[in-house]
């Protein structure tokens, strides 16, 4: 057991392009380390699954050591080992999942396979003890965008989701189109800082559906706008385009999240996933939450993006409710929360 924090859990996350390991004691964060593959994938403009899987194999063992050392925990003091079960790239998932199972077996400790999105949903707890159900949680990452109602831990009702691209995917694709590189979210966030968000009005889709999201129309609208500008030999200020794209994405994420707050009557909103690291989204959520008198719980940016500590935090809850995964458990690349 940790120092008053609850069981010590080591969490491993390898669903996409970050090898990440974290150690928590209950909801107390002890360490969170990662090895980013951004450089390995940047020249391809996106994640290459074979490259990702190989990089996880190389990074995982030293990272587990780093995470334990930084936490000041010896491996024999760990109460359970957890790893992401899905959703994600199958070749990447099996590296972390297989390593975690073997490690747990060797230590003779319980092993738990965790839903990656449930990890994002638990991430705010590591910094905000006041984050408790009932809550509405906005989960927005590179592969998923969902609005989840959490009446109690472990029970998740999906109120809305994207019907096409995820919010992070929209950032990534549009940044690539604009020549801003990969990953696109941070690049647009930076470029937008010097731009006017009202310069260009890009569409906000699905105004008739309270909780669902769609970003493919925005993609078409931006690419058409930029192609037209190029034909007219007009170079629109990059900052204005970035800020206007960001505003269109942020507008719908904020609106739909608070539609869910209105519909459920909850007094707490939380967020998780890489897109929640976005400067403008964080500010707008904070403004609307303050306006409505709703409590807001956002992880710091480093815990919004993929990390191992969030997997360990979700596992802590499941350890308490008695769940365990068997030694024959397998990854599930298509896992869906809610």
Q: Which of 174, 306, 313, 331 binds Zn ion (CB under 5 A)?
A: 306
Q: Helices 184-192 and 167-177, interaxial angle, to 10°?
A: 70
**306: contact with ligand KG4 by CB under 6 A:** yes
Residue pair 97/112 in contact (Cβ under 8 Å)? The answer is no
- Judged by beta carbon distances under 5 to 8 A according to partner kind, the member of Zn ion, ligand KG4, none in contact with residue 91 is none
SS3 (DSSP) at 181: coil
Task: Please state the closest distance from residue 22 (CB atom) to Zn ion, in A.
Answer: 13
Q: Which of 11, 168, 195, 197 binds ligand KG4 (CB under 6 A)?
A: 168
Interface with ligand KG4 (CB under 6 A), residue total 19
The DSSP secondary structure of 217-265, one letter per residue, reads HHHHHHHHHHHHHHHTT----HHHHHHHHHHHHHHHHHHHHHHHHHHHT
Residues 11-50 that bind ligand KG4 (CB under 6 A): 16
Size of the chain in residues: 338
Q: Which of 141, 214, 244, 325 binds Zn ion (CB under 5 A)?
A: 141
**275: contact with ligand KG4 by CB under 6 A:** yes
Residue pair 279/193 in contact (Cβ under 8 Å)? The answer is yes
One character per residue 171-200, x = contact with ligand KG4 (rule: CB under 6 A): xx----------xxxx--x-----------
**240: contact with ligand KG4 by CB under 6 A:** no
Q: What is the DSSP letter of 11?
A: E
Contacts of 162 (CB under 8 A, 6+ apart): 144, 145, 146, 212, 213, 214, 215
Q: Give the footprint of ligand KG4 on this chain (CB under 6 A).
A: 16, 141-143, 168, 171-172, 183-186, 189, 273-275, 277-278, 305-306
Q: Give the footprint of Zn ion on this chain (CB under 5 A).
A: 141, 306
């Amino acid at each position: 057991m940790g120092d008053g924090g609850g069981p010590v859990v080591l969490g491993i996350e390898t669903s996409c392009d970050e090898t990440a390991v974290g150690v928590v004691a209950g909801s107390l964060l002890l360490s969170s380390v990662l090895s980013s593959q951004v450089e390995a994938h940047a020249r391809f403009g996106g994640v290459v699954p074979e490259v990702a899987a190989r990089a996880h194999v190389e990074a995982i063992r030293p990272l587990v050591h780093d995470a334990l050392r930084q936490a000041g925990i010896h491996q024999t003091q760990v109460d359970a080992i957890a790893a992401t079960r899905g959703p994600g790239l199958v070749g990447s998932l099996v590296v972390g999942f297989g390593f975690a199972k073997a490690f747990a077996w060797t230590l003779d400790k319980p092993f738990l396979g965790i839903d990656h999105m449930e990890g994002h949903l638990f991430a705010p707890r590591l910094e905000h003890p006041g984050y408790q159900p009932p809550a509405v949680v906005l989960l927005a990452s590179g592969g998923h965008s969902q609005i989840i109602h959490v009446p109690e831990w472990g029970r998740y009702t999906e109120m809305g989701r994207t019907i096409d691209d995820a919010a992070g995917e929209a950032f990534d694709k549009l940044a690539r189109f604009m020549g801003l590189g990969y990953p696109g979210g941070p690049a647009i966030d930076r470029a937008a800082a010097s731009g006017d968000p009202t310069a260009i009005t890009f569409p906000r889709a699905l105004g008739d559906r309270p909780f669902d999201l769609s970003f493919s129309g925005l993609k078409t609208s931006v690419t058409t706008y930029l192609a037209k500008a190029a034909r007219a030999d007009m170079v629109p200020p990059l900052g204005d385009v970035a800020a206007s794209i960001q505003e269109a994405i942020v507008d719908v994420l904020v609106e739909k999240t608070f539609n869910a707050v209105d519909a459920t009557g909850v007094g707490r909103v939380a967020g998780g996933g890489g897109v929640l690291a976005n400067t403008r989204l964080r500010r707008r959520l904070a403004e609307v939450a303050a306006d409505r008198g709703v409590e807001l719980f956002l992880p710091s940016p480093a815990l919004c993006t993929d990390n191992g500590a969030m997997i360990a935090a979700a596992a802590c809850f499941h350890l308490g409710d008695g769940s365990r995964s068997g030694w024959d458990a397998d990854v599930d690349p298509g896992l869906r929360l809610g």
